[in-house]
Amino acid sequence: MVNPNFKNANVQSWNLNVQQRVTRNLGVMIGYFGAKGTHLEVDRNINQSTVLGTPGSRPSVAPSASSQFLPGKTLSNRITERDSNSNSNYNALWVSANRRLGHGLQFNASYTFSHSIDEVSRNNEGIVVQDSTNIFNSRGNSDFDARHRFVANAIYELPFKGNRLVSGWKLAPIVVAQSGNPFNIVLATANTTGAGNTIRPNLVAPAQISGNPAQWITKGMTAFTVPAANSFGVLGRNVFYGPGFTNFDLALIKNTKITETVNLQFRADAFDLFNHPNFGQPGGGNGFVVFASDFDSDYAHVVHNNNEHAFPDRRFRLITAIAVGFKAAVLIAASILRFQQRRASARPRCFPPV
């Protein structure tokens, strides 16, 4: 059901940046960027018991016997309402450098240090707030929060001079490096509020991120405890971060001048050139990790679905094209060969079962 007072969401954004030319061909920009989301969608349980674990304290136990709608029928302890009282906040430092073509080299690079905060990130997960009567108890890192992100691309004209076979070669790399996204740790129970996978454990000692996909969280038995019966856990939402992402693509380009208006181009693209594994999130990539109440095996079992590859393996592509025209080229022929290369013994790009 939808709150009859539901309001449309709106976003306010602002920025302040300084741009400066450092050399004849190089310019840099440094700036602050911010945004605030208001009246964002949130799902919550409007029939959560006022006394946790006591079904009789639900706001709506059953319609009256004279009701035209399900008279006398006991209502569920979970009634989902879509409301619009969630908010978000984003702040970022953005630094970029842009070099125009000079001496055969041009490039663009940017680095972002940012933080996004909200109560829910609306990933079609249903009810995710721990306490539906106080959604701000679930305010924390956004599911898509990435503190650090670096992206760079370049085109370099190789300094080979001579005949048509020797000249016209270019290299074009693209580099992406990003820190991981957060994930939520919850208990597999619906007895407290009526909404399953929403109660978080207590954090009583430091937990460690090992960096090992087979056991992402260590010392869980000493770090986490089950909350007292019919109470909420004190662990914050999305306080732990999953694996980061790195990727390197490279293109080799050969331009050959046939006539004044005709150019032949050969291009070889390598995606994920070094075949670097980028693991998905713990818990199957759905944004949260569910544990049984006994915290089995020291929280080692942070498992990702083996059938769900986080990112594709290394791929290669060859393209030959003829461009005709002056300035505005018309593509005549392209994509004569495309293939994928996968490692014969490639391990899945996800968390292995344990």
Going from the C-alpha of 141 to that of each of 117, 145, 185, 200, the distances in angstroms are 5, 6, 13, 15
Backbone angles phi, psi at 220, to 5 degrees: -70, -30
Q: What value does the mean pLDDT of the chain take?
A: 81
Residue 328 CB contacts under 8 Å (≥ 6 apart), including other chains: none
Q: Does the reported pTM lie above 0.85? A: no
CA distance to 53, 230, 269, 347, per residue, from 49 (Å): 7, 10, 58, 46
The per-residue pLDDT for range 237-291, each reduced to its tens digit, is 999 998 999 999 999 999 988 887 888 888 999 998 898 888 888 765 455 566 6
* Integer Cα distance of 187 and 289 in angstroms: 8
pLDDT tens string 117-150: 999 987 777 888 999 999 999 999 999 999 999 9
Tens of pLDDT along 34-79? 999 999 999 999 888 888 877 778 888 787 777 777 777 788 888 8
User: Phi-psi region for residue 57, left (φ > 0), alpha (ψ -120 to 50) or beta?
Assistant: alpha
Q: What are phi and psi of 181, to 5 degrees?
A: -95, 155
User: What's the rounded Cα separation, in Å, for the pair 97 and 105?
Assistant: 13
Do residues 47 and 62 touch, judged by C-beta distance below 8 A?
Answer: no
Q: Where do we find the tokens 């085109």?
A: 155
Q: What is the mean pLDDT of residues 335-350?
A: 40
User: Which of helix, strand or coil describes residue 248?
Assistant: strand
80 SS3 class: strand
CB neighbour class for 166 (10 Å; exposed up to 12, middle 13-18, buried from 19): exposed
Residue found under tokens 């544990």? 291
Locate the DSSP E strands across the chain: 10-21, 26-45, 80-102, 105-118, 140-141, 148-157, 169-178, 182-187, 202-203, 208-212, 215-218, 224-225, 240-241, 245-257, 262-271, 288-291, 315-324, 330-331, 337-340
**CA 160 – CA 170 distance, rounded (Å):** 10
